[in-house]
Amino acid sequence: MSDSATPKKKVVKVEPTKAAAASGTQASEGAKGDRVWSPTPEAKSKATKLRIFAWVGWLLAIGVEAIAIFVLLRQNPVNMWLLIGAIVVTGALAITGSLLWKKANDLDPASKSNAVRFFIQNQLGAIMTIIAFLPLIILIFTNKNMDGKQKALAGTIGIVVAIAAVAVGIDWNPSSQEQYAEEEHIMLQLTGKDEVFWVKGGSVFHVCAEVPDVNRESADGQIYQGTVADAHAAGKSRLVSYWDREALNYCGYSQEQVDAVKAGISAPAAETTDTAADDTNADDATTAGDASADEAADDEADSAAAADAAESDS
């Protein structure tokens, strides 16, 4: 790292997430040679609690929807204020559930190896919101106890709130176990340790504390230092996309080092391991060849010495 570049703000080391010695918080090699990431027990537990709270929010939203359908829409005349209030409350509960679910997915993401599960886990907020709103909106427009203006007003409010809640429920850039594994691999290959930097209020994490992005004004004026898992637990979605420029321009790494890391990213973990094994075997073969050559040279020297001795005796 460059000696001339120093962070302008205080660097605070985050307390590592609690995990067992073999918790698997770093990228490891899977059965097919792919890099695999798994959360710490603490992160897994927190994600489970958040998912439970998310389900509570969604079920309450569906409960309010049921009250609106089976009670409010059967009134004659329909109480518009109560109906609009039910729509707003349903939207608020659905959005709360979706935000909690997204936070849980940041702590414990799905794997892309199972495409169906990956889609459902990341878009469940949008799916539950549609379930909470679609029947209600349909029944508003088909209700016989409301006139055209009332249907238009309640229906429009319902559609607007539903669209907003669905938009929040959609995970536009979902995290994955593969992404986290690659980020840890990059940092381990580049710096030799699982350590990244971020600021409160930022959405991504960075290679070192000297980069301009983390030294700009932030919410509390501090730079946080921790593992990739710590950064994701703090709500940071990913490693900055231009990590290679950061490494070159601000963190003191050479182009050769960055290129070596990029080459390692494109190669499967198993291939990297095999290459290392091949290099080791090659080194062993070279060493063995050198030893054989040395032995041959020693034999030749002994023969020459014996010939000189015989010539001297004669």
Domain boundaries, the chain: 38-169
Are residues 222 and 9 in contact, defined by beta-carbon separation less than 8 angstroms?
Answer: yes
The token pair at 268 is 């499967």
Residue 88: both structure tokens together:
């707003």
Can you read off the two tokens belonging to residue 218? Answer: 């932030």
Q: How many CB atoms lie within 10 A of CB 38?
A: 19
pLDDT for 14 equals 75
For CA atoms 25, 29, 30, 33, give the dihedral sign: positive
**pLDDT-wise least confident of 2-16, 26-40, 212-226:** 26-40
Banded model confidence at residue 220, pLDDT cuts 50, 70, 90: confident
At residue 167's C-alpha, the angle toward residues 177 and 44, to 5°, is 30
pLDDT > 90: percent of the chain: 62
- Alpha carbon 236 to chain centroid, angstroms: 8
Specify the pTM.
0.73
- pLDDT score recorded for residue 34: 59
Distance of alpha carbon 299 from alpha carbon 276, whole angstroms: 35
- In tens, the pLDDT along 140-182 reads 999 999 999 999 999 999 999 999 999 999 999 899 999 999 9
Using the predicted structure, report yes or no on whether residue 313 has a pLDDT greater than 90.
no
